[in-house]
Chain A
């Protein structure tokens, strides 16, 4: 299933607020930083449910899956069966 990256970004921001890594004044700024890292110019406005996570790992795993899917479509045309595409199936 495709990952909704906009949704995952909001989840991560919520995690950051919950763990006091960021404050509410940092939210817009941090969203932009994450978008930059992910190479996104645009995201959708989404609403998320509150959740309590002890680790950001589930969110990061989805983001990675998203990045690999993006890379996968791109790489299939170039070099099918490479290390990266192999690893996609482990995610």
Chain B
């Protein structure tokens, strides 16, 4: 697949565009159902998005999916065979790109009904639902790639860059109040630690329980605000503060204060420096949900500083993991679902031959595609010896899952060892101290 758009897609999308109702019909049907039952409304819209072939279910079915058991629960792995990968530095460059074309990006509302062109998908069969969050006009749609069940996207009516602010927390909590059966999260607003589209403010949500959602509470923190907001550290390879409250406004206020505190927080011993020459490094990946009628907000602490040793990012998968994952660790990965690029599918298939016949490993240098997996393959061979045909796939899947755990550990700002967790406590103490002043 070239850049994800084929002349074929333009052709069959145009045909499917004949079979779908006008936006106003879809919207009125959606809200008629919504008034009666929120879940039924999203079911209707999700089924419509699949039936119209906007979500190409036959292609999605080709994605490879599995789970790997780790000490942090079951991590999800997907090898995406329907979407191309992007270099993080290209993503960073795009943020500054002038936007002159129409539609301005893949998310803009102008995509609805657009006939497409060779580098932009046709969307005649695409429909979006207007919603109001934080008293602003936003839109609700599903992701055409469905990385997990009912993977939805909520995007701003205006083409404005990603920005974590007080409003972000208001919008996220407004959304889960309106769609209590869905979680919703925002990517961070800085390169390296953000998602693949930084130029248009948007969230991703859906109906799926990630490993991070299920992660148990490890410690409770006092964070001020009387007893109205509870704060916890959860057992997760990245650094997550879980906040819980009955009232939205209490949660927004405490989340915002923690975010502000984190933005300017440095702990040199832990390698955390908030600014370089005035350029900020600290931000958060926030995720909201409703649990038994209470609002829950996870703040995942992020830092995008680079160094000579780690030019791709200090809190980013390190070089030795790049043969599996070097793309940005965004919201979805943070929660425990690895989205791996399509090329890996073929590479792993070829690699199985070397693991079944380990003497071939001596010649792996001759295979250009597999050189980058060499050390890993040798390590697997050392661990398991020659593998049988019927076990090699299972072993490889498990080893990929373990690599993904390392990816998350590298991305965590406070490491999971004693020093790291003490540094986490120190940050939380400073949060609590400030909130009392």
> Chain A: residues with CB nearer than 8 A to chain B?
12, 16, 19-22, 30, 33-34, 37-38, 54-57, 60, 63-64, 67, 84, 87
Partner pick for B19 among A22, A63, A64, CB 8 A cutoff: A22
Is the CB of B53 closer than 8 A to any CB of chain A?
yes
CA distance A33 to B18 in the complex (A): 6
Jot down 23 A-B pairs with beta carbons below 8 A, ordered by A.
A12-B19, A19-B47, A19-B51, A21-B19, A21-B20, A21-B21, A21-B48, A21-B51, A22-B19, A22-B21, A30-B18, A34-B18, A37-B14, A37-B18, A38-B15, A54-B57, A55-B58, A56-B16, A57-B53, A57-B56, A60-B16, A64-B8, A87-B8
- Give the docked Cα–Cα distance between A60 and B16 (Å): 9
Whole-angstrom distance from the CB of A47 to the nearest CB of chain B?
A: 21
A12-B19, A16-B19 given; 11 more Cβ-contact pairs under 8 Å: A19-B47, A33-B18, A37-B15, A55-B57, A55-B58, A57-B56, A60-B12, A60-B15, A60-B16, A63-B15, A84-B7
List residues of chain B with CB within 8 A of the CB of A22: 19, 21
B14 to chain A, nearest CB (A): 5
Instruction: Encode contact with A along B26-63: 1 for CB under 8 Å, 0 otherwise.
Output: 00000000000000000000011001110011100000
B127 nearest CB across to chain A (Å): 11
B310 at interface, CB cutoff 8 A: no
Dominant SS among interface residues on chain A: helix
CB-CB < 8 A to B14: which residues of A?
37
Of all chain B residues, the one with the shortest Cβ separation from A58 is B58
Residues of chain A lying within 8 A (CB to CB) of residue B15: 12, 34, 37-38, 60, 63
Query: What residue of chain A has the Cβ atom nearest to residue B59's Cβ?
Result: A57
Q: Does B225 count as interface, using CB distance less than 8 angstroms? A: no
Q: Does B11 contact A (CB under 8 A)?
A: yes
Give the top 5 A-B pairs by smallest Cβ distance, nearest first: A19-B51, A33-B18, A60-B12, A57-B58, A16-B19
Known: A16-B19, A54-B57. Is A64-B11 also a contact (CB below 8 A)? yes
| A56→B13 CA distance, assembly (Å) | 11
